[in-house]
Homo-oligomer: A and B are copies of this chain.
């Protein structure tokens, strides 16, 4: 998606060969026109899949997932991150995931009432690096019996294994911008 790549070039701050700061458009401030356009693009890519629900993880995925859900006319669910130790309960699915950027472990949680075996789910997230959060959420979706239609990612760091390993597991992954490599002052897209 050319508009997203252009904005990444404009506002992205490369902090290291592995970390890019996109606070101005994804992780702290949000440009509604850009995010709405991303929502329309994901909706276009997955329109024929009869999606019943868009699922993401708080917080930076929410605005994008909401824009997709608006366009598809289906509900959106955001998994909650929990700081404390959590296990499955009669009401929730929990999975423990490490966080690449934060360097710590969090538990993600979805209430059972919001995932149905009849659901056809599109998973949306802002970033994919090692893919731990996405894989945790995929495990939750599968355990609910719902069908995972695919994964939509705004920015994939394709030099890290997340997107590739999820594709290799047979899941369709669509990324709107794929960063092949980066260093301060220089971002190379695929």
Contacts and interface: CB of A to CB of B under 8 A. Distances in A.
A29 B75 contact: yes
Interface in A70-84: 70, 73-78, 80, 83
B111 A28 contact: yes
A93 to B, nearest CB: 12
Interface string A10-25: 0000000000000110
Number of copies: 2
A70 B36 contact: yes
Contacts of A78: 28-30, 59
Contacts of A31: 75
A63 interface: yes
A76 B28 contact: no
Interface residues of A, number: 30
A66 interface: yes
Contacts of A138: none
A76 B58 contact: no
Contacts of A30: 66, 69, 75-78
A83 B31 CA distance: 26
Contact of A59 (B35, B62, B69, B110): B62
B111 A35 contact: no
14 contacts: A24-B113, A28-B110, A29-B78, A30-B66, A30-B69, A30-B76, A30-B77, A30-B78, A31-B75, A59-B78, A62-B62, A62-B66, A63-B66, A63-B76
